[in-house]
């Protein structure tokens, strides 16, 4: 099942993709931060009770998750080729190759819809960069989850673009919160595909900028598996339904090109992954 959050006639609806149309669920069912705790069988019952359908062209796609109980949870350096492409480019903030997952967070207000413009303001940062990723949506609460049980806690998956401001990322002591959290800069969506829909061994993530392929990798290339990420994150820290975990970006970022190629006003970024649709966003010039 693929679930999106749509704006239809000025009202937000959770909707289920069926063919070329979306079935609008009753608003009383709740938003996706609540529905992420339901089973596919329960979601099918909600879908069966719904009768209104809309085409994608008659709705505005919003970020699927609209409400968060915490920051977005993120993974850094989860593809070794991405870690290695940054060697010598971290402006004095070099680190040894990690032996455990690297985690950071980004503010929920940094997220935006799958087709929204990215408000690129060069007065805030001169080094805007893209990072195509797959994101996990948690569906079942758990603390200190064992790796072998981790996938039982996954509701589904979606795409994310962890748009980063590299100069802000370096400015604040090498921690990444500020350089990952500017308002409305990180698209997610276009829908959440429930876990039963996705064969993780077949997922390929690709990023194109102005039509040119920049990133292409299989999730099989991850340094730390999804099971390891969930087990490490939940160690002594409860994960809740609706929590979003970005799983890391592969090599090919703009900072690592020679010379570096950062995003500019007018650039279009398209991110795709097997079974997860696409993000398509244009950088809008926000200079005064």
Domain ranges of the chain: 2-61, 72-285
DSSP 168: H
Report d(CA 61, CA 72) in Å as an integer: 20
Output the six-digit token pair for 112. 């935006």
Predicted pLDDT at 134: 98
Are 12 and 73 a contacting pair, CB within 8 Å?
no
Report d(CA 137, CA 175) in Å as an integer: 24
Strand, helix or coil for residue 7: strand
The DSSP secondary structure of 99-150, one letter per residue, reads SS-EEEEE-GGGEE-TTPPEEE-TTT-S-EE--EEEEEEE-S-BSS--GGGG
**Strand-pair category, 60-62 with 2-8:** antiparallel
Predicted pLDDT at 237: 98
pLDDT in tens, the chain (288 residues): 999 999 999 999 999 999 999 999 999 999 999 999 999 999 999 999 999 999 999 999 999 999 999 999 999 999 999 999 988 777 767 788 999 999 999 999 999 999 999 999 999 999 999 999 999 999 999 999 999 999 999 999 999 999 999 999 989 887 899 999 999 999 999 999 999 999 999 999 999 999 999 999 999 999 999 999 999 999 999 999 999 999 999 999 999 999 999 999 999 999 999 999 999 999 999 975
**Which one is the CATH code of 72-285: 3.80.30.20, 3.90.850.10, 3.80.10.10, 3.90.1150.10?**
3.90.850.10
Predicted pLDDT at 92: 67
Are 82 and 253 a contacting pair, CB within 8 Å?
yes
Name, in order, each residue with C-beta under 8 angstroms of 251's C-beta and a sequence gap of 6 or more.
Answer: 79, 81, 82, 84, 85, 215, 217
Are 193 and 158 a contacting pair, CB within 8 Å?
yes
Q: What is the pTM of this model?
A: 0.96
Alpha helix (H) residue ranges in 71-139: 80-85
Cα-based distances in Å from 230 to 36, 93, 205, 226: 16, 27, 20, 6
Please report, in angstroms and rounded to a whole number, the separation of the first and last CA atoms in the chain: 43
Per the listing, tokens 């979003």 go with 244
Residue 206's beta-bridge partner residues? 216, 272
Before 190, cis peptide (omega within 30)?
yes
Output the six-digit token pair for 14. 């959770």
């Amino acid at each position: 099942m693929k679930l999106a959050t749509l704006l239809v006639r000025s009202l937000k609806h959770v909707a289920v993709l069926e063919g070329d149309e979306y079935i609008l669920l009753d608003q009383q069912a709740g938003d996706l931060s609540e529905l992420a705790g339901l089973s596919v069988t329960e979601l099918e019952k909600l879908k069966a009770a719904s009768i209104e359908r809309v085409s994608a062209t008659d709705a505005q796609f919003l970020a699927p998750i609209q409400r968060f109980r915490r920051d977005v949870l993120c993974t850094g350096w989860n593809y070794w080729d991405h870690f290695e492409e940054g060697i010598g480019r971290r402006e004095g903030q070099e680190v040894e190759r990690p032996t455990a997952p690297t985690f950071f967070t980004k503010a929920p207000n940094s997220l935006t819809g799958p087709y929204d413009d990215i408000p690129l303001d060069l007065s805030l940062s001169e080094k805007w960069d893209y990072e195509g990723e797959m994101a996990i949506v948690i569906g079942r609460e758990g603390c200190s989850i064992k790796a072998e049980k981790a996938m039982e806690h996954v509701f589904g998956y979606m795409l994310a673009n962890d748009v980063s401001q590299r100069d802000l990322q370096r400015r604040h002591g090498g921690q990444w919160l500020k350089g990952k959290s500017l308002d409305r800069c990180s698209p997610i969506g276009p829908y959440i595909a429930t876990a039963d829909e996705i064969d993780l061994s077949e997922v390929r993530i690709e990023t194109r900028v102005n039509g040119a392929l920049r990133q292409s990798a299989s999730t099989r290339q991850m340094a730390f598996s999804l099971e390891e990420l969930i087990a490490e994150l939940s160690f002594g820290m409860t994960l809740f339904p609706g929590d979003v975990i970005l799983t890391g970006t592969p090599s090919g970022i703009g900072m690592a090109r020679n010379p570096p190629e950062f995003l500019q006003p007018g650039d279009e970024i398209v991110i795709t992954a097997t079974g997860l649709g696409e993000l398509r966003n244009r950088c809008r010039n926000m200079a005064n």
